[in-house]
């Protein structure tokens, strides 16, 4: 039998080591992994000599359309950016306060008509009504639910109103009842502390402060501790999104020692950027911090305390970022995630490629996408990211596919980039350019277990 396609002579990256060999694909799945020098028939080959072949990256944290593009308008740009940046699966947040189930249905339909990569969704919880929808959403393959702790009062994000501890408690209880398991995703910051600090800074007419000064490290730490305590009381597995502080890994270890099922995620911006970046354009929640926070988070990824990596891609436009206090938070990041990690992590000795493969596996396992996604093994989807560790790209927003008109990585030279991205055996991007069509699929979480 001839293979549809073989990626040959690559250095195949597994969590346990790097082995030279050839990956054969049939019907969109990995059919054989050959030792170097094997013979076989192939209709098409891709030569990966001198390059590394990683399992297609999974971005656990993507907000398609944030803050003000319709989902269908931003779907193409965001998923093209993903593919060009070596990401083959995105986990997108569905924000539909009026009906989560309806929001999931609508976005799933649109996603399968216009996405360049595969994806799954997280649901966002704002109300008792959303909590009641959790079992139905879970049956649709959405089993992770986000709680936006620090967005209320003047910081609320319309049309959503803020949540309180009652929503957190009843939501956690409902998620804990799901089988296979669900997971509560928490944005951890203490908003009352922010309100007080903001008042003080405004009274003092302070122009010299960074966003970090308004949301100091301890406000994230306190929130992680409280979420862990709620998780312990309710038995709900939790996941702390976009961890930014140096104290974070220790908090995860502490909660785990108490028996809490807790997972931590961090993002390239918290690993590589600091509060010295542009204070308005780089305004994000939680804020960019300091180099010692960067180093602690790299360490947390290395020792397995932080298991997951996502970009928190929020393709905000410059026009929303003009004044310090009113600027919308967030920025695009799905296309710069892999080069930032390869350049500042792998090429600077902070992270091994094997560890990056392990993180990709963790991302898939945590959200019920394994064994289809996250691994290079026979039977898995042929999602491959081929990288050249020596390829340097100078980042320019105008060259990135996202809809946003800036990037906090502007002008940075990042060494290590994706040179080919394959989704289910189809080459979608080559040398940072889209060459494929939008054939992305919605992949339900725990697909096999649910028989979906």
Which residues lie near Zn ion (CB under 5 A)?
312
Which residue's CB is nearer to Zn ion, number 189 or number 312?
Answer: 312
Q: How far is the CB of 430 from Zn ion (least distance, A)?
A: 29
Does the N-terminal peptide bond of residue 25 adopt cis geometry, omega within 30 degrees of 0? no
Q: How far is the CB of 146 from Zn ion (least distance, A)?
A: 8
CA distance 385 to 102: 33
Q: How far is the CB of 243 from Zn ion (least distance, A)?
A: 12
CB 66 within 8 A of CB 316: yes
Q: How far is the CB of 79 from Zn ion (least distance, A)?
A: 17
3-state helix, strand, coil in the chain (%, to 5): 35, 25, 40
Q: How far is the CB of 321 from Zn ion (least distance, A)?
A: 17
Which residue's CB is nearer to Zn ion, number 151 or number 401?
Answer: 151
Which residue's CB is nearer to Zn ion, number 66 or number 446?
Answer: 66
Residue with the closest Cβ to Zn ion? 312
Q: How far is the CB of 4 from Zn ion (least distance, A)?
A: 37
Q: How far is the CB of 344 from Zn ion (least distance, A)?
A: 21
CA distance 418 to 431: 7
Closest CA to 48 of 26, 25, 79, 31: 25
Closest CA to 89 of 406, 362, 441: 441
Listing DSSP states for 18-55 in one string gives EEEEEEEEETTEEEEEEETT----BS-EEE-TT-EEEE
Please list the residues that pair with 122 across neighbouring strands. 93
CB 362 within 8 A of CB 430: no
Listing DSSP states for 110-166 in one string gives HHHHH-SSEEEEEEE--SHHHHHTHHHHHHTT--EEEEETT--GGG--TTPPP--HH
Which residue's CB is nearer to Zn ion, number 77 or number 416?
Answer: 77
CB 410 within 8 A of CB 278: no
Which residue's CB is nearer to Zn ion, number 137 or number 329?
Answer: 329
Chain centroid to CA 108: 18
Chain centroid to CA 27: 27
Q: How far is the CB of 264 from Zn ion (least distance, A)?
A: 15
Which residue's CB is nearer to Zn ion, number 14 or number 270?
Answer: 270
Q: How far is the CB of 331 from Zn ion (least distance, A)?
A: 11
Question: How does strand 45-47 pair with strand 5-14?
Answer: parallel
Which residue's CB is nearer to Zn ion, number 312 or number 344?
Answer: 312
Q: How far is the CB of 63 from Zn ion (least distance, A)?
A: 6
Query: Which whole-number Å values give the CA distances from 78 to 337, 361, 402, 438, 452, in the listed order?
Result: 13, 22, 5, 12, 26
Residue 309 φ/ψ, nearest 5 degrees = -135, 130
Which residue's CB is nearer to Zn ion, number 107 or number 426?
Answer: 107
The H or E element containing residue 229 is helix 217-234
Closest CA to 307 of 381, 377, 256: 256
Q: How far is the CB of 428 from Zn ion (least distance, A)?
A: 24
Which residue's CB is nearer to Zn ion, number 133 or number 312?
Answer: 312
Which residue's CB is nearer to Zn ion, number 75 or number 241?
Answer: 241
Looking up tokens 């105008």 gives: 398
Radius of gyration of the chain (CA): 21
Which residue's CB is nearer to Zn ion, number 220 or number 312?
Answer: 312
């Amino acid at each position: 039998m001839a293979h549809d396609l073989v990626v040959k002579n690559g250095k195949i990256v597994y969590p346990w080591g790097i082995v030279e060999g050839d990956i054969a694909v049939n019907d969109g799945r990995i059919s054989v992994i050959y030792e170097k020098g094997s013979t076989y028939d192939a209709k098409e080959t891709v030569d990966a000599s001198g390059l590394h072949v990683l399992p297609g990256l999974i971005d656990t944290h993507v907000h398609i359309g944030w803050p003000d593009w319709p989902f269908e308008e931003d779907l193409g740009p965001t998923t093209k950016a993903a593919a060009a940046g070596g990401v083959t699966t995105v986990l997108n947040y569905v924000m539909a306060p009026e009906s989560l189930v309806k929001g999931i249905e609508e976005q799933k339909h649109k996603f399968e008509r216009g996405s360049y990569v595969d994806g799954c969704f997280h649901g966002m919880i704002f109300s008792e009504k959303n909590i009641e929808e959790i079992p139905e959403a879970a049956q649709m393959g959405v089993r992770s639910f986000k709680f936006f702790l620090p967005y209320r009062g003047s910081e609320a994000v319309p049309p959503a109103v803020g949540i309180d501890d009652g929503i957190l408690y009843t939501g956690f209880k409902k998620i804990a009842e799901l089988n296979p398991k669900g997971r509560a995703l928490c944005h951890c910051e203490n908003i009352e502390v922010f309100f007080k600090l903001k008042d003080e800074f405004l009274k003092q007419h302070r122009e010299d402060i960074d966003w970090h000064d308004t949301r100091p490290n301890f406000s994230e730490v306190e929130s992680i501790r409280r979420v862990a305590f709620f998780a312990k009381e309710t038995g709900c597995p939790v996941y702390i999104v976009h961890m930014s502080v140096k104290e974070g890994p220790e908090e995860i270890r502490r909660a785990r020692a108490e028996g809490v099922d807790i997972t931590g995620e961090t993002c390239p911006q918290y690993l590589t950027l600091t509060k010295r970046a542009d204070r308005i354009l780089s305004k994000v929640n939680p804020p960019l911090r300091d180099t010692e926070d960067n180093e602690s988070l790299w360490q947390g990824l290395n020792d397995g305390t932080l298991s997951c990596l996502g970009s928190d891609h929020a393709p905000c436009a410059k026009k929303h970022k003009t004044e310090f206090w009113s600027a919308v938070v967030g920025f695009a990041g799905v296309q710069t995630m892999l080069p930032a990690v390869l350049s500042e992590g792998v090429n600077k000795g902070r992270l091994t490629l094997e560890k990056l493969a392990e993180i990709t596996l963790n991302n898939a396992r945590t959200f019920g996408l394994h064994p289809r996604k996250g691994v290079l093994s026979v039977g898995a989807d042929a999602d491959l990211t081929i990288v050249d560790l020596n390829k340097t790209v100078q980042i320019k927003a105008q060259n990135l596919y996202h809809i946003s008109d800036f990037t906090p990585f502007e002008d940075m030279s990042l060494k290590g980039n994706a040179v080919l991205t394959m989704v289910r055996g189809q080459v979608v991007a080559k040398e940072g350019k889209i060459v494929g069509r939008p054939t992305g699929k919605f992949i339900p979480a725990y697909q096999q277990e649910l028989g979906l």
